[in-house]
Amino acid sequence: MKTNGQTLKQKSPHDTEREFGGTLGAVCIPIFLPLTVLFLISASRSSDAGVFQWPPPLPTTDQLWDPLALVILLGWIALHALLYLMPLGKVSEGLVLKDGTRLKYPINGFHGLCISGVLLLLFLGLGAPLGYLFELLVPLAVCAIAVSFVFSVYLYMRSFWAPSHALALGGNTGNPLYDFFIGRELNPRIGDFDLKYFCELRPGLIGWVVVNLGMLMKEVELRGSPSLAMILVNSFQLLYVADALWNEEAVLTTMDIVHDGFGFMLVFGDLAWVPFTYSLQAAFLVVHPQTLSTLGAAVIIALNGIGYYIFRKSNSQKNQFRRDPTHPSVARLETIATATGKRLLVSGWWGLVRHPNYLGDLLMALAWSLPCGFSHLLPYFYVIYFTVLLIHREDRDERHCRAKYGLAWDTYCRRVPYRIFPYLY
């Protein structure tokens, strides 16, 4: 029996590597992060907006639930599911999967953004009180959190019907709490409808700019016109979301799609965390108006522009190189060979630091907080959290790349010693 047990153990298909603090992280994060969302929304609307208040400002039970919030949230997800299914835009193939096949994905997220934008303008034209989103923010976040939990349970359960080659590497440890959190199945689909790809850039990301617009309309209700700070925050973040959707095809080669299973971590991140914490600056500005000088605004716009330029150019350079290394825009860049047959860029943006795209993203994150002034720490939550997220993500990516490319990766690290910030980190 013992021998059999050992043999079975050796042959076990379960993965052993654990991330995000393993089981402890998988238990604590799904409790801690939803509470953080509710805390941040409540703090942003309290008069002192303190992040170190004790007891922390959390919504009272009668502020948590509003059936209208559930109707709006489910209606919004259903609208985007319909837009996803519309035969608009092209269809692209993802990377080759373990079984040698490639999945097809509709590239129509930008159409979804434009159509939902037109619908919103129509609603506004008909007098719909979009500013009411400010009052609904807590119940909307509660519903998004609840939907994330229910959806993640569904994803976990259905993953047991998936063939073993369809499971994500690292998502099949056999520990139910960890696997539920990290995601077992790599590309769960209902027919051709890809659940992870749908959630990644659509309801939550577009929802984020709608929440921002709701905050702007609330400001108009309260003060007659939107402030310069609110306009900057709305415009910068709309540019970021529009850019992500315009370049939607690039998501097909990201870690989230290629490597990570679809579990609570991604579901909650996509549906609850992004729309309700990334919109914190706009929510803060409703209660804490800021005056911004023209010079201050110009400096912030320049910072956002520089960040965007680095972010877009570096992402496009790598995507172009991965799609067609002989393309004239990348053909002359210096590269090193790896044992896998793929090459690594060591000049151009990817010769500056090992993650120039993260550098640009972080400069933009700072530009989104600066319009909120220096009186409070809360609007800087995003840039602080995002720095931690990207440092952790960079570390995960390095481990994957070292495993993939071995010695060639070490050579790249020697040639390009800094990870994100030149001469600093």
Site for ligand NDP in 151-190 (CB under 6 A): none
Among 268, 350, 380, 382, binds ligand NDP (CB under 6 A): 350
What residues between 378 and 397 interact with ligand NDP by CB under 6 A? 393, 397
Distance CA 422, CA 413 (A): 13
**Subset of 89-128 contacting ligand NDP (CB under 6 A):** none
- The answer to the question of residue 208 lying near ligand NDP (CB under 6 A) is no
Quick check: 346 and 335 in contact, CB under 8 A?
Answer: yes
Which tokens in the block code for residue 129?
Answer: 């009180």
d(CA 195, CA 184): 13
Of positions 315, 363, 379, 419, contacts ligand NDP by CB under 6 A = 315
The footprint of ligand NDP on this chain (CB under 6 A) covers a number of residues equal to 20
Whether 58 and 42 have beta carbons less than 8 Å apart is answered as yes
Cα–Cα distance, 12 to 145 (Å, whole number): 34
* Residue 321 beta carbon to ligand NDP: minimum distance, rounded to whole angstroms: 6
> According to DSSP H, which parts of 159-202 are helical?
176-182, 195-201
Q: How far is the CB of 120 from ligand NDP (least distance, A)?
A: 22
Q: What is the smallest separation between the CB atom of 98 and ligand NDP, expressed in angstroms? A: 15
Contact segment (CB under 6 A) with ligand NDP among 31-39, 134-142, 225-233, 310-318 equals: 310-318
Q: Report d(CA 58, CA 282) in Å as an integer.
A: 19
Q: Which of 151, 284, 358, 381 binds ligand NDP (CB under 6 A)?
A: 358
d(CA 116, CA 204): 13
Contact region for ligand NDP (CB under 6 A) — 213-221, 283-291, 326-334, 349-357?
Answer: 349-357
Instruction: Confirm or reject binding of residue 342 to ligand NDP (CB under 6 A).
Output: yes
Which one of residues 111, 322, 402, 415 is an interface residue with ligand NDP (CB under 6 A)? 322
Query: Which segment (7-15, 36-44, 85-93, 316-324) binds ligand NDP by CB under 6 A?
Result: 316-324
Contact predicate 86/108, CB 8 Å: yes
Site for ligand NDP in 238-297 (CB under 6 A): 254-255
Distance, in Å, from the CA atom of 366 to the CA atom of 28, rounded to the nearest integer, reads: 28
DSSP calls for 69-112 = HHHHHHHHHHHHHHHHHS--SEEEE----TTS---EEEE-HHHH
Give residues in contact with ligand NDP (CB under 6 A): 254-255, 311, 315, 318, 321-322, 342, 344-345, 350, 355, 357-358, 361, 393, 397, 400-401, 412
